[in-house]
Amino acid sequence: MSKRDELIAKYAVDLKEKCGVEADMDLLKKVTIGCGPSIYNADASTVSGSDASELATVKNNFLIKKLGLSESDDLDGAIASVIEQYGKSNRTKYRAVVYYLLTKHFGKESIY
């Protein structure tokens, strides 16, 4: 099993155990591949739910640039909702899982 496949399996477990979501493995794989090499970097592979600049990066680089959403789509509310679903006290929030949940939240699976 490749390193990427191991990470995808770990993300699926996180979705099930921490978010109560049964993962669409095809979409999760595509979202993970879309994250690029950042999934292999300990710092870049996670999202800090309390760091305003980190959340701005998620909003600008993923929601606006990748998913093509506009500022009027309540992006901050969606991010807060996903962070809450993942668990604010959960210290390790994987970027691929957060992006997967946001993709599902906005119904933008077709982008992948």
Instruction: Using the predicted structure, report yes or no on whether residue 90 has a pLDDT greater than 90.
Output: no
- Residue 46: which domain range? 3-111
* Per-residue pLDDT tens over the stretch 60-87: 999 999 999 998 879 999 999 999 999 8
What is the mean pLDDT of the segment spanning 37-63? Answer: 93
d(CA 40, CA 108): 25
Helices marked H in 20-112 — which ranges?
25-34, 52-57, 75-86, 95-106
Looking at residue 89, its pLDDT comes to 85
- Which CATH number fits the domain that encloses residue 23? 1.10.238.120
State percent of the chain over pLDDT 70: 100
CA proximity to 48, closest of 84, 103, 91 = 91
Looking at residue 22, its pLDDT comes to 94
pTM: 0.94
Q: Which two tokens stand for residue 12?
A: 């699926």
> Domain total for the chain?
1
pLDDT band for position 1 (cuts 50, 70, 90) = confident
| Spatial contact of 99 and 35, defined as CB atoms under 8 Å apart | yes
